[in-house]
Chain A
Amino acid sequence: MALTTVARGRVYDWSHAIGRGAATGTGFNYVQTMCLDKNGNAYTTNRGNENNFGMRANHVKIGTAAGEEDLLAEFFQYGEGDGKTTWPFGIAVDSERDRVYCSDEWTSTISVFDTGGKFIAKFGKPGSGDGELSHPAGIAVEKSGNVIVVDAGNNRLQVFSPDGKFAGKCGGPGKAPGEFDQPWGITLDKDGNILVADWGNNRIQKLSPQGRPLMCLGSYGKSSKPEGAYAVTPLGPYVAAEGERAGHPRTDQFNHPTDVAVDSDGDIYVCDWGNHRVCIFDSEGGPITTLVGDSQVMSKWGNMSVSANPDMMKARRRVKSLEPEWRFCFPTAVDFDPASDQIIVADSQRNRLQVYKKVRNYTDFQANL
């Protein structure tokens, strides 16, 4: 199966995977959101489970090839009080000001850490008034240092100053442009325009820095299970007997999108959670292609688990096809690192990140090889 995807003059090359299931330490536990620091390293929030395991934010070195990954820091673990969390959700880093913002959607607060994970402050409280939050989700930091919080339960965006003072808001519940239904992830393009994954409305919204609606991208469409396909989970993805993308709707149809990213060329990446893929568009919203996950090479940390467990190794050698393992399963976040041209996707149910590279100077090979 292809590791290089070519479409409309663009080339995407699968690079490596990072992670494994782990409630603490070297791995992930249901990543909800992700952001990149100035070095291209990722911060993620991990939702964990009802045994109060796995909740945390971590800082992970991405590198440009398999084996370079490393766990840099862990913070925002489960618990009460400063620096702790119940239901971690959003994360954003302000490398200039040495700050990381994390949202907790249960306590409806934003915790502020330094980039090493040391707790600094906390702001926000439950409610629907100015400066109050309900189930805060994704976060983004403006060049000014102001913090935009996706106030999902209130179906709006709120802006805070770096020290947590209310500075503005936009949106409200609904389906019209500028209105939201439980939005999830957020990103800013180089001009400061705001892109939001409008989860419940199955679309991406682009707003001006002032919050004026500029573009709505996508409509609802759900994968269907092809006859005889293998359902990796009851809600997909589906691996068909033949053909690697069977069952997907059109590229511009989403099922509960969770995140969006913009690359240095202005191309837009949408994390199409419920359809288990990343959809790529040009800056005008024209569909380019989709990525479905290609994790054919085991991650470094994954290898440690497999090599410590002879029975797992044995079982893997008996499996007819590992294709179900390559595929995204409910991806929750996508980011683009302009320095390395890497696209990083948080593959939530598989507890890993998949890294692709947007290849600039791809020379095609002779077709008659």
Chain B
Amino acid sequence: MANTDNCIVVLQLTGGNDYLNTTIPYNNPLYKDNRPAVGIPDNNIIHLDATYGIPEYIAPMKKFWDAGQMAICHGVGWKESPRSHFRAMDIWHTCEPIKVGTEGWLGRVAREFDPNKENVVQVVSMGPSLPRALVCPGVPVACVAGPLERYGFLPQVQGNERAHVLDRFAKMYSPAIGAGPVMDYLSETAIDSLKGEDIIKVAPQKYSSTVQYPNTPIARKLKGIAQTHIAEIGSRIFYCDHSTFDTHAGEAPAHNALWSAVSQGVDAFFADLREHNKSQNVIMLLFSEFGRRVHDNGSGTDHGAGGVAFVLGDKVKGGHYGEMPSLEAGKLVQGDLDPNMDFRSVYSTILDKWLGLNPAPIVNGTFEQPAFLN
């Protein structure tokens, strides 16, 4: 099923999404025992099956589940998972749980796809900063800080003047004889970026859709990704995030707002792709750096270990993969769910079955592959 035009969208749930309140083991009495303050009441749970449910505010995801297009990967994480946001996120990004890694797994994918760096828009990140998952020496990434329409150099200059100023800019960066290697490198980089800008700015111009995206930051990012994908400019790796899932306090309303935004945004995104008949070659991975502590703190939940990841897409084989780690007190590690699926397993399936790459050198080892893709 791996195809050379397959794309991946990663939606990072930054801050540590509460696994237990996302896929709720609603029959398990230990769930209620541990969640006196932030447990989801029975009548606000939508049942996926006889074991798990999702809160009402994640209702849009139920469509994917019913269509068999949502894989739920349970208990993801790794042994010795750190409770630090950064460290945990770094490990997810670099697949290096022991030392501090410098190359991101998707950066390596991009390098495999395009070793000669011919495609300057292959990797698109919606946000001003470069997630470490995309970092790889020499791999160009288009970081779209604002709306797609304003992507590029000197966004202050718009309107008629823009083409003119950019032309002057390009001339200032045109290679000059005897300027030296660093100057040459600057030229080359700027010209590459300008090329990328030219390519990307076509996307919003060509785009039209009947789909209404909600007015949330994550929906705006997903819309930008949809526009880029629909324009078929050769982008294959998309990254975006939503935050912050760090619900130490006031979790009930916060988790509601966070997942309402994410699930509605994701729903609109896939609807948009389907309207343009461009959904077949897209999967979306949703993950968070860790789950949250099993017992609530009277207002929210603190940093935990085992979490949940979702993979969505037309070609995804929906269902549960792995199972939720035990909630029994004796089975918890420092009060946390003991991860029972290595996160690199999830990556490995995606790399092998969807992107057609050998996972081992990218995720630094061989891991069992949950079969959510054929």
Q: Which of A8-58 contact B (CB under 8 A)?
A: 21-27, 51
Pick from B83, B254, B298: contact of A305, CB under 8 Å: B298
Residue A310 CB within 8 A of the other chain: yes
Residue B335 CB within 8 A of the other chain: yes
Q: C-beta contact mask, B295-329 vs A, less than 8 Å → 1, else 0?
A: 11111111000000000000000000000000000
Pick from A21, A27, A309: contact of B293, CB under 8 Å: A309
CB-CB under 8 A for A23 and B248, given A308-B295, A309-B293:
yes
How far does the alpha carbon of A24 sit from the alpha carbon of B295 in the complex, in Å? Answer: 19
User: Closest residue to B298 on the A side, CB-wise?
Assistant: A304
Q: C-beta contact mask, A270-308 vs B, less than 8 Å → 1, else 0?
A: 000000000000000000000000000000010011011
Chain A neighbourhood of B299, CB < 8 A: 22, 24-27, 301, 304
Asked if B293 and A51 sit within 8 Å, CB to CB, the answer is: no
What's the least CB distance linking A242 to chain B, in Å?
35
Asked if A51 and B250 sit within 8 Å, CB to CB, the answer is: no
How far does the alpha carbon of A359 sit from the alpha carbon of B83 in the complex, in Å? Answer: 45
CB-CB under 8 A for A22 and B250, given A27-B299, A51-B244:
yes
Q: Which of B248-275 contact A (CB under 8 A)?
A: 248-250, 254
Chain A neighbourhood of B248, CB < 8 A: 21-23
Residue A311 CB within 8 A of the other chain: yes
Asked if B301 and A25 sit within 8 Å, CB to CB, the answer is: no
How far does the alpha carbon of A37 sit from the alpha carbon of B254 in the complex, in Å? Answer: 30
Chain A neighbourhood of B335, CB < 8 A: 308-311
How far does the alpha carbon of A40 sit from the alpha carbon of B207 in the complex, in Å? Answer: 61
Chain B neighbourhood of A23, CB < 8 A: 248-250
Q: Quick one: which of A307, A309, A312, A314 has the most chain B CB within 10 A?
A: A309
CB-CB under 8 A for A24 and B298, given A311-B83, A311-B335:
no
Asked if B302 and A308 sit within 8 Å, CB to CB, the answer is: yes
What's the least CB distance linking A352 to chain B, in Å?
14
Residues of A in contact (CB 8 Å), total: 18
CB-CB under 8 A for A308 and B249, given A26-B299, A51-B244, A301-B298:
no
Asked if A308 and B296 sit within 8 Å, CB to CB, the answer is: yes
Residue B334 CB within 8 A of the other chain: yes
Chain B neighbourhood of A305, CB < 8 A: 297-298, 302
Chain A neighbourhood of B254, CB < 8 A: 24
How far does the alpha carbon of A312 sit from the alpha carbon of B83 in the complex, in Å? Answer: 12
What's the least CB distance linking B72 to chain A, in Å?
26
Chain A neighbourhood of B334, CB < 8 A: 310-311, 314
What's the least CB distance linking B83 to chain A, in Å?
7
Chain B neighbourhood of A22, CB < 8 A: 248-250, 299-300
CB-CB under 8 A for A308 and B83, given A22-B249, A24-B249, A24-B250:
no
What's the least CB distance linking B33 to chain A, in Å?
12
User: Closest residue to B297 on the A side, CB-wise?
Assistant: A308
Chain A neighbourhood of B250, CB < 8 A: 22-25
How far does the alpha carbon of A301 sit from the alpha carbon of B297 in the complex, in Å? Answer: 8
Chain B neighbourhood of A304, CB < 8 A: 297-299
Chain A neighbourhood of B301, CB < 8 A: 308
How far does the alpha carbon of A98 sit from the alpha carbon of B298 in the complex, in Å? Answer: 30
Asked if A26 and B298 sit within 8 Å, CB to CB, the answer is: yes
User: Closest residue to A310 on the B side, CB-wise?
Assistant: B335
14 example contacts (A-B, Cβ-Cβ < 8 A) are as follows A22-B248, A22-B249, A22-B299, A23-B248, A24-B299, A25-B250, A26-B299, A27-B299, A305-B298, A308-B297, A308-B302, A309-B297, A310-B334, A310-B335
18 further contact pairs, Cβ within 8 A, besides A305-B302, A314-B334? A22-B248, A22-B249, A22-B299, A24-B250, A25-B299, A26-B298, A26-B299, A27-B249, A27-B299, A301-B298, A304-B299, A305-B297, A305-B298, A308-B293, A308-B298, A308-B301, A308-B335, A310-B335
Top 9 closest pairs, chain A to chain B, by CB: A304-B298, A24-B250, A22-B249, A308-B297, A310-B335, A25-B299, A25-B250, A308-B295, A305-B297
